[in-house]
Each structure stands twice: as C-alpha cells, then as structure tokens.
A and B are shown apart, each in its own frame.
Chain A
Amino acid sequence: MSSQAASAPPTASRREPLRRRPDEGLIGGVCAGFAHRLDVDVRWLRVFGALIAGAGGVGVVLYALLWAVIPVAPESRGLGRRPGAWREAMLTVAGVVVVLWALRRVGVALQGDVLWPVVIGVAGLALVWRPIAGDLGASTAGAPPPAGRLAAVRGRMRFPGRIDGTRVLLGVLMVSFASAALLHHYAVMRSLGKAIGAVALLTVIAVALGAPWFMRLWRSLAFERAARIREQERAEVAAHLHDSVLQTLALIQKRAADPREVAGLARRQERELRSWLRMDRADRAEPGEDTVAAALAGAAAEIEELHGVPVEVVTVGDGPLDASLQAVVQAAREALTNAAKFSGADRIDLFAEVRPDRVEVFVRDRGAGFDTQAVPEDRRGLRDSIVGRIERHNGLATVRSRPGEGTEVELQMARAPSRGAGRAGG
C-alpha cells in the first residue's frame, strides 16, 4: 500500500469516483487513479499495465484512451508531476519495447506493421479529443482567481486556446502517419496510387478553397468571444451603477427637501465611486485598511456620514499602522468629531504626513473656535480623547484656537524604527 493511498480516509475511498492523479503517476496518473479507486497498490496496476501493453500493444491503446477519458482529480490539479516521473516512464516504455523485440526474435509475431499504426492513430485521436474533455473538467471546478476582474476574464479567455494548438497538431500528425502506414501496409498505396493522389489533390484544393471561410469562422468566433467579455464587463459596471449611483439618485429625489442630507448622500456616493474606480486601476495594489492613510480616510468618511460635514483628506506618504499610530488615528477622529459638532464650519481639512521617522496629522476647521484657556476641566473630549491619548503614547498634541478664527489640532507621533515591533500602549 503506497503511503498516499493509505492516507486517504476510508469513507472517501469507498465511493470515490475514478480520477487520474498526474501528481502521483508516472505518465498520466491513470494507474495511480485506479489504485485510489480500487484501493490496491499502484505497483500491481503498473505491472499489469505493462503486461497488457506488451501483449500486442492493446495496453498502450487502453492507456491512451483512459488518459483521454478520465478527468484529473481536483486535489491533484495544478500540482506538478512528481520529479523524475518522465524518466521512469521512459524506462518503462523502453523495457516494454525490449520485451516486444525479444518476443519477436523468439518467433511470436505480433504483426507490428498493423498494430503500431493503430496504436499511434488512436493515441493521436486521444490527443485531439482530450482538450475538450479537459475543458469540461476545468469549467466545473475552476474558480477564477481573485486577482481583479479584468485579469480573471482575460485568463478565462486565453488559457484553453493556447494549449489546443500544439496538442491538436501533434494528434493530427500522428493520425495521418498512422493512416498512411496502414494504407501502405495493405498495399493500397501501390495499387491505387493514382486514385489516392487524386483524392489528395482534391483535398488540397478543398482546403485551399475552404481556408478563407474557415478563417472567417475562426475570426468571428474570436470576435464573439471578445464581445462576450466586453458585454460581461459592461454588465458588471451596469450592476454596480444600479446598486450604487441609481439608488443614491433615487434617495436624493426623495429627500430633496433636506439639503443637508442630500449633500451627505451625494458625498458618500462620490467617495464610494472614487474608491471603486481606484480599485479597477491595473497593477496597483489596493491599500489595505491597516495603513495610516487608509485608516484616516476611513475615519474621515465616518465623520462625514455621521455629521454631514465634508472632510477634505490629504495624505502624504503612508505606512503600516501600529499601536501608537492607531492612537493617532483615533485622536484625529475625535478632533474631526469635535470640529463637525461644535465649530459650525462647512468643511474640515485633514492633512497627514507620514515620514520615515514620524507622523504628523493636522485637523483644521474655520468655524467658531474657542478660548483654549477657558475650556473647563470636564470637557473630556479634548482632554482625554485627544491630548491624553496621544501623550500616553509619548506623542505630542497641540490645540490652537481663538474665538472666531477656527481651530487646528496638531498631532505628532514618533514612528518605531522597525515595523512590526508591535508595542502595546503603556
């Protein structure tokens, strides 16, 4: 019992469908597949296979057929063939050839002149038909990679087409060779040479005549495929617009009486649409939520939605969040909340600069402002949530404000020299 087969759970092996396992097999994984299905050692099956292959080549035909017909096991798809498998396969084939040759020398004629062309022809047919079976298998189990919509669509389009070419060509060559050899064997070539020549000539003419039509068919197929992909993309965009923009427009019409809410709705939709557009840009890794810039943008969006005051976010540079930068983001959020609630300003500016050694964040409004000296001790928002939070992480928080001139909160925090050194706040 091979280790792979033994490790399979018994319940699964009881009614497991027959699947090839190219990652375990020597050639196509047919024997390995049977070994899994029948729960026997793969080596017995290989010996059996080699025997029937030797017995007049039937085994080879059988193998090629099975290779073509049996789909690949899903768990073995995408895995490379075991290293050294080809060498073993070659050795096996060479062994069989030697055995056959020896048999013939002894006098057991196998009528190789007929047999081998048949074997080669069937193998060629198998090659021609195989891609279609493979496609069916792939389309049932192949989930598109989550690497972006366009990439996925393109991948789907290109992948089967590229493999077809060489494989089909090889198969056609093998079948042609086999047919020619068979014809030759039965002496058809010699007796009906002229007829064959005429047929060949007619065939060439037919191909020459049919080629443009065939090419047009092929091109129209490709065109149709491209159109389908475009249509798919268009449908995706349309779906997104339906879910987002049209919904918002409907809402805006309903709430037309409340300008503040309308502005808020429009603003939220704008933000969402922008982030969607940015996501679609090729090659650009989407910044995760765990960077300073992304976290600040998220906080600003939240405040906009809660209080209906637009926040203009400008960030320079970026970096990963750690505990102390998390505190900066939370303090900035608190400063935004204060500005939105109390200043009466119609816009808040948030500017953050992430440098290698430190982070600076400014939250500025042009609202009412207040006397920083006269803030009562119990105004917890400013004391605890902003200044206290930053100072606990050894940062610096400054509040500049004068009545009538608006307020600016400045937050400064040194960055840990090495990223990933997750310092808990203390």
Chain B
Amino acid sequence: MSGPVRVVIVDDHRLFRAGVRAELGERVEVVGDAGSVEDAVRVIDAAGPDVVLLDVHMPDGGGREVIRRCCEARGEDDRPPRFLALSVSDAAEDVIAVIRAGARGYVTKSISGAELADAVERVAEGDAVFSPRLAGFVLDAFAEDAEPAPPSAPGADAELDQLTPREREVLRHIARGYMYKEIAQTLGISVKTVEAHVSAVLRKLQLSSRHELSRWAVQRRLVSFD
C-alpha cells in the first residue's frame, strides 16, 4: 500500500470524532467522518477509505448496520473497506456482535493515539486487531470445558468451534497485555505467524456456531441467522 492509510471515522459524537482525528495525527489520512448510519454509508461510498473506524452504539442500528449496508451494496470485485470497531462498551455481547458482523477488530475508546494508529495500520494490511479484553471474551467463549455446538447442527464445522492450543496461547498473551512482537519472541515464532493465528481466531469468531457466541449475539437481538 502506498502512502498513509486512508480512514473514515464514524461516531455520533462530534467531539469524539474531532478528538480521534487529532490523535491519529500524521500517520494516517482521515478522509472523512460521519455521525449517523446514513451519512456513514454515503461518506464511505464517496471517499473509498482503506479503514473505517466504527462506533458500536449509534442510533438506527449502530456500527453493525453500517457494515451490513456497506458490504451488501458492493459486487464481487469491489472490495469493501475494512472495519475497526471503537467503543466505550466492555460488554461481551456488543463486542462479539460487531465482530460477527464483519469488523476486523475491536479497541476501546481509552486507547492511546499511537496505539490506535498502529491498530489502523494493522487492519489496513488485512490483520486482525484484538484488545486484551476481546482476547478475554474469546477465551471465555471458546472455553475448553464448555460444550461446542452439537455436531448435528446444520453447517456446523467442528474445526470452527475449537481453538488450537497455539491459538489459545497467543490469545492468552494478548490478554496479558503483550504486543505481537513480544508474543513472537516469547513463543519463538515469527510475527507473521502470530498474525496468522490471530486472523484464524477472527475467522472462527465470525463463522463459528458455538453456543456462547450465538447467545451473546442473541442477547443484543442483533443476530440474523443465515
């Protein structure tokens, strides 16, 4: 990718949008912002950003609705931007719902400007961004002793319902506050491998039919079984 990452900020609080814009500073290029679902879809269509920073809670469906409308309006070869959720909520159901809708990661609003810019760049390159809290939620949802989805369930894929020991180990380190580089060092693997593990976990998180994930999504009445 050439030049700085192009970003659109979607949040219904104007003050917060201004704050994020200022914090991101030079490292990324903010090409637009929007304060509602309607505006967001229009701005994203017009500006064609690499990454959309997305508030989870907004009127008219929130971040999830933005993702849905941006993705369904496009054809096969027209790739939608990547979404990074940004929210004050620390409730598992909010976080899981927006990830399952298609966001590539989730960070809380208390994140520092430099960390946020890091996260934006990583998402732009196609990686997933897990905050310690999200890692904790995933470990909870994929708990070893909990029941996976019944094998008879339609479309259930046993592989999607389990984390490998390595993925679990990587998530634990993220939850402990380790950076990817530090995880690679500690586990004796390359940073690329760490990223691959995290991406695999993201895929499972989005596609798995595990009971816990469905339950969290249902609690917000945000799920649409497809």
Contacts and interface: CB of A to CB of B under 8 A. Distances in A.
A351 B90 contact: no
Contacts of B178: 364
Contacts, number: 41
B140 to A, nearest CB: 5
Given A317-B140, A349-B132, A408 B176 contact: yes
Contact of B135 (A314, A317, A362, A364): A314
B175 A314 contact: yes
B143 A314 contact: no
Contact of A316 (B91, B139, B177): B139
A316 B133 CA distance: 10
Given A314-B136, A366-B177, 6 more contacts: A274-B90, A316-B140, A351-B132, A351-B172, A355-B144, A362-B177
28 contacts: A274-B90, A278-B91, A310-B110, A312-B133, A312-B177, A314-B132, A314-B133, A314-B135, A314-B175, A316-B136, A316-B139, A317-B140, A317-B143, A349-B176, A351-B132, A351-B172, A351-B175, A351-B176, A351-B177, A353-B139, A353-B175, A355-B144, A355-B145, A362-B176, A362-B177, A364-B176, A364-B177, A364-B178
Nearest to B110: A310
A356 B145 CA distance: 8
A366 B132 CA distance: 15
A408 B133 CA distance: 18
Contacts of A356: 145
A92 interface: no
A408 B110 CA distance: 22
Interface of B: 90-91, 110, 132-133, 135-136, 139-140, 143-145, 172, 175-178
Nearest to A277: B91
Contacts of B144: 355
A353 B139 CA distance: 9
Contacts of B136: 314-316, 351
A364 B178 CA distance: 9
Main SS of chain A's interface residues? strand
A315 B144 CA distance: 15
Interface in A140-197: none
A141 B139 CA distance: 49
Contacts of A353: 139, 172, 175
Nearest to B135: A314
Interface string A315-348: 1110000000000000000000000000000000
A355 B178 CA distance: 21
Interface in A342-378: 349, 351, 353, 355-356, 362, 364, 366
B187 to A, nearest CB: 14
A310 B132 CA distance: 14
B169 to A, nearest CB: 12
Contacts of B176: 349, 351, 362, 364, 408
Interface in A276-304: 278
Nearest to B134: A314
Nearest to B138: A316
B175 to A, nearest CB: 4
Nearest to A349: B177
A353 B110 CA distance: 23
Contacts of A362: 176-177
A327 B110 CA distance: 31
Contacts of B177: 312, 349, 351, 362, 364, 366
A261 B90 CA distance: 24
A353 B168 CA distance: 12
Most buried by A among B90, B133, B139, B177: B177
Contacts of A351: 132, 136, 172, 175-177
Contacts of B133: 312, 314
In the A-B complex, list the 8 residue pairs whose CB atoms are closest, starting with the nearest.
A349-B177, A314-B136, A316-B139, A362-B176, A351-B176, A351-B175, A364-B177, A314-B175
Most buried by A among B91, B132, B144: B132
A270 to B, nearest CB: 8
A349 B91 CA distance: 18
B44 to A, nearest CB: 30
Nearest to A283: B219
A364 B186 CA distance: 14
A385 to B, nearest CB: 21
B134 to A, nearest CB: 9
Contacts of A317: 140, 143
Contacts of A315: 136
Contacts of A408: 176
A208 B194 CA distance: 77
Contacts of A364: 176-178
Contacts of B143: 316-317
A69 B198 CA distance: 73
B89 to A, nearest CB: 9
Nearest to B182: A405
Most buried by B among A310, A353, A408: A353
Most buried by A among B91, B110, B139, B175: B175
Most buried by B among A312, A316, A356, A362: A316
Nearest to A405: B182
Contacts of B132: 312, 314, 349, 351
B210 to A, nearest CB: 15
B94 to A, nearest CB: 12
Contacts of A316: 136, 139-140, 143, 175
B159 to A, nearest CB: 22
A39 B205 CA distance: 72
B164 to A, nearest CB: 17
Nearest to A361: B176
B34 to A, nearest CB: 26
Most buried by B among A274, A312, A317, A351: A351
